[in-house]
A and B are shown apart, each in its own frame.
With several copies, the nearest count.
Chain A
Amino acid sequence: MADETLRLHLPEPTTRPGMDPDASMIKVPPAGTLPKPPLDEPDDKMWDYALGMVRVLDDDHGAVGDWDPKLDADTLRKGLTYMMRTRAFDDRMLRQQRQGKTSFYMKCTGEEACGVAQAMALRPDDMLFPSYRQQSMLVARDWPLVDLMCQIFNNPKDRLQGKQLPVLYSVKGANFFSISGNLGTQFPQAVGWAMASAYKNDSKIAAAWVGEGTTAEGDFHHALTFAAVYQAPVVLNVTNNQYAISSFSGIAGGEQSTFAARALGYGLPGIRVDGNDFLAVYAVTKWAADRARSNNGPTLIELYTYRAAAHSTSDDPSGYRPKDEFTVWPLGDPIDRLKQHLIKLGEWSEEQHEALHQELEDEVKRDLKEAASHGTLGVRPCSPSTMFDDVFKELPPHLRRQRQEAGV
């Protein structure tokens, strides 16, 4: 070794604000190339899935290959509707934040196929351990938007009594676990939930989500380790939307490998899927769910997608990425792709699409009106004395004294 000088590597994205957006480093394999393996395929036969990408929708909007879930047109239209409802909801709520009606909001724009297709591929009583960008799953489980809006407004119809930050929902009725403000913590919990299900010889499985940035947390590793050791019936998902607030995926280790590949070292299958391809997401999720439900063990899915909007209403992406980066994103828009596919099938038209769009806008507007009628930011959801409830199941003496001191 001639040169013995060590050098520190710092990952850097190829583009920054003011530069032309660039997606040339993203390799997108053609649709339909990877076969669909049996549910008990040994994990060392599945490396191509972790490093490649399962895609069903081709560039001409056809569905190709082994993974095509062959969903009927009604189901596809339902999926499209859920995605469009999610987007209408997001757009409307962002505006509410801008108008000072809520302190905070987070959109999932560009990631709608992930949530909707996954929710539809899972069973309604499977337990979801979502991140904060999974509102589309609640939409796909037909949970009333009004209820979500009331949580966002922390108004008297907020079931969480104003205790939680907007969008950190808890919807037991939809088997949607309480969202934590702490990243990653729910991943091992989902494994434990799934283990309890197996312990009880139940048939419900669990599914959990983290962003690609969050995969760096120890909780991610705990979840994969425990899931592998106890072969828990759980589907673990990484939404790789390329960003963790301002950090590009290279800061999370994306330069060296895919996030699906993390599974390999645990002896688990990892599958990377085109997250903007409704059919592919549905098929891969269904495969993983079937695998879990048939005691073949856990799966890690990487949903390869793009966070088209800001991280949250507290964020402005123009500070760290080219403004028009989304336009060069090679996997397109998930709603548009499913729409085109339906049109190609002869099951949808531009007119129907426009009509549906309008209908959903109206519906969301109606919902919003109803929700806002119960109050928006600043209204009291309930008596401040509830602030002392639910710390424990029963109010202990010291909290009783403090409540008294608070005079509430």
Chain B
Amino acid sequence: MSRMNMIQAINSALDNMLERDPNVLIFGEDVGYFGGVFRCTAGLQEKYGVKRCFDTPIAEGGILGMAIGMGANGLRPVAEIQFADYIYPAFDQLVSEAARLRYRSAGEFWAPITVRSPCGGGIYGGQTHSQSPEGIFTHVSGLKTVMPSNPYDAKGLLISCIEDDDPVLFFEPKRIYNGPFDGYHDRALQPWTQHPMGEVPDDYYSIPLGKANIVRPGSDVTVICYGTMVHVCETAVKETGVDGEIIDLRTMLPLDLDCIVASVQKTGRCVIVHEATRTSGFGAELIAEIQEHCFYHLEAPPIRVTGWDTPYPHAFEWEYFPGPKRVGEALTRVMEDA
């Protein structure tokens, strides 16, 4: 057991899997010798050799095309896309190929690839280093979508992704790489070493995909979130005193609907928080499912707190970011409603 931040936990997951399974390969832009621009693959090339962890040309479509071919030939490639904003050049390989290969061949071929990519804003990254595209991928049948909110989960979920025989997108909220960001950029960041979920086994373990985590039980309102927003929601619950039951989805697809439905049926109220743009974001899907399964339990309209429907503006990222104040207002409002 060690104290790890998210970067170290991800590195540890990759390390364990490289060690356990000779078919695991790691690659992406700058991930080899250099160890990745966020250092998630640091030391792995030195430890396992250049054939197990290497740099690729700058062509996200090529990276995933190659990964799919490797996956179809028995390997378990783990590709890094340097920023989630740069997944789009690989969109066709993901959507038309990785996601469809098993189906169109009726199970003859498949590609067990994992795509890791840092997402989210709050690091002054501007509009092309801050996006949260997870919602888009949940609309594509054949892909799994995962986003951890802490080092312990990050490691356990990433190992599950690598072992999964379906293509999985593993989004890493870069704002919490180093600590559980409470949503206040003007306060000092608490390091993961001071957080219970920063306690991470060095050895292999896994957390199943498709299982949400109730981070904080509560009875007033269900707060559904994932990634960075888990910590923002915790702050908001603390600040407002509203007894929120905070659900960290961990996996968006497959979704742990049972957990959500049980909670909302209990609380009758719901606030959904994500950093991605609002329109057609994953929050919409959650509301659609909630009203289908909890309609008669709802005492107030569920509220979405999300990024605005604009690119992430460099100078106004804290006006864009759905921080504790906005979440808190939603919590207060959802309690006043009805």
A223 to B325, CA, bound (A): 46
Docked-complex contact A192 and B67, CB < 8 angstroms: yes
- B313's contact among A12, A183, A253, A387, by CB below 8 Å, is which? A387
Q: Does A27 contact B (CB under 8 A)?
A: no
Q: Does A296 contact B (CB under 8 A)?
A: no
Residue of A nearest to B100 (CB): A180
Q: Does A402 contact B (CB under 8 A)?
A: yes
Q: Does B218 contact A (CB under 8 A)?
A: no
A129 to B65, CA, bound (A): 12
Docked-complex contact A396 and B210, CB < 8 angstroms: yes
Q: Report B-chain residues with C-beta under 8 Å of the C-beta of A388.
A: 308, 310
Q: Does B141 contact A (CB under 8 A)?
A: yes
B258 → A minimal CB distance (Å): 8
Q: Does A356 contact B (CB under 8 A)?
A: no
Q: Does B203 contact A (CB under 8 A)?
A: no
Per-residue A-contact encoding for B249-267, CB less than 8 Å = 1, 0 else: 0000111011000000000
Task: Decide yes or no: A164 and B104 within 8 Å by CB, A216-B57, A216-B59, A380-B315 being known contacts.
Answer: yes
Q: Report A-chain residues with C-beta under 8 Å of the C-beta of B51.
A: 8, 10, 199
Task: Decide yes or no: A226 and B66 within 8 Å by CB, A185-B96, A393-B166, A398-B279 being known contacts.
Answer: yes
A246 to B310, CA, bound (A): 32
Docked-complex contact A219 and B106, CB < 8 angstroms: no
Residue of A nearest to B102 (CB): A390
Docked-complex contact B34 and A182, CB < 8 angstroms: no
Docked-complex contact A391 and B128, CB < 8 angstroms: no
A190 to B109, CA, bound (A): 13
Docked-complex contact B29 and A247, CB < 8 angstroms: yes
Residue of A nearest to B42 (CB): A319
Q: Report B-chain residues with C-beta under 8 Å of the C-beta of A199.
A: 25, 51, 70, 75
Q: Report B-chain residues with C-beta under 8 Å of the C-beta of A194.
A: 69
Docked-complex contact A170 and B67, CB < 8 angstroms: no
Q: Does B231 contact A (CB under 8 A)?
A: no
Q: Count A/B pairs, Cβ under 8 Å.
A: 269
Q: Report A-chain residues with C-beta under 8 Å of the C-beta of B196.
A: none
Docked-complex contact B129 and A222, CB < 8 angstroms: no
B132 → A minimal CB distance (Å): 16
Q: Is the interface on chain A under 10, 10 to 19, 20 to 34, or 35 or more residues?
A: 35 or more
Residue of B nearest to A165 (CB): B126
Docked-complex contact B308 and A181, CB < 8 angstroms: no
Q: Does A282 contact B (CB under 8 A)?
A: no
Per-residue B-contact encoding for A198-235, CB less than 8 Å = 1, 0 else: 01100000100000011011110111011001000000
Q: Report A-chain residues with C-beta under 8 Å of the C-beta of B201.
A: none
B202 → A minimal CB distance (Å): 25
Q: CB within 8 Å of B: which of A384-406?
A: 384, 387-393, 396-399, 402, 406
Docked-complex contact A390 and B103, CB < 8 angstroms: yes
A188 to B77, CA, bound (A): 14
- B34's contact among A163, A181, A320, A398, by CB below 8 Å, is which? A320
Q: CB within 8 Å of A: which of B66-83?
A: 66-75, 77
Q: Does B92 contact A (CB under 8 A)?
A: yes
Q: Report B-chain residues with C-beta under 8 Å of the C-beta of A200.
A: 73-74
Task: Decide yes or no: A406 and B308 within 8 Å by CB, A165-B314, A219-B61 being known contacts.
Answer: yes
Q: Report B-chain residues with C-beta under 8 Å of the C-beta of A384.
A: 316, 319
Q: Does A114 contact B (CB under 8 A)?
A: no
Q: Does A308 contact B (CB under 8 A)?
A: no
Residue of B nearest to A8 (CB): B51
Per-residue B-contact encoding for A170-196, CB less than 8 Å = 1, 0 else: 111000011011111101111111111
Docked-complex contact B109 and A170, CB < 8 angstroms: yes
Q: Does A355 contact B (CB under 8 A)?
A: no
Q: Report B-chain residues with C-beta under 8 Å of the C-beta of A191.
A: 65-66, 69
Docked-complex contact B58 and A244, CB < 8 angstroms: yes
Per-residue A-contact encoding for B11-33, CB less than 8 Å = 1, 0 else: 00000000000000100011011
Q: Does B86 contact A (CB under 8 A)?
A: yes
Task: Decide yes or no: A222 and B61 within 8 Å by CB, A181-B127, A319-B34, A381-B315 being known contacts.
Answer: yes
Q: Does A104 contact B (CB under 8 A)?
A: yes
Q: Report B-chain residues with C-beta under 8 Å of the C-beta of A190.
A: 69
Q: A222-B61, A393-B165 are in contact. List 9 more A-B contacts (CB 8 A).
A: A162-B316, A163-B103, A164-B126, A181-B96, A184-B58, A192-B68, A196-B69, A229-B57, A391-B103
Chain A to chain B contacts (Cβ below 8 Å), 7 pairs: A162-B314, A163-B313, A181-B128, A197-B73, A217-B59, A245-B29, A384-B319
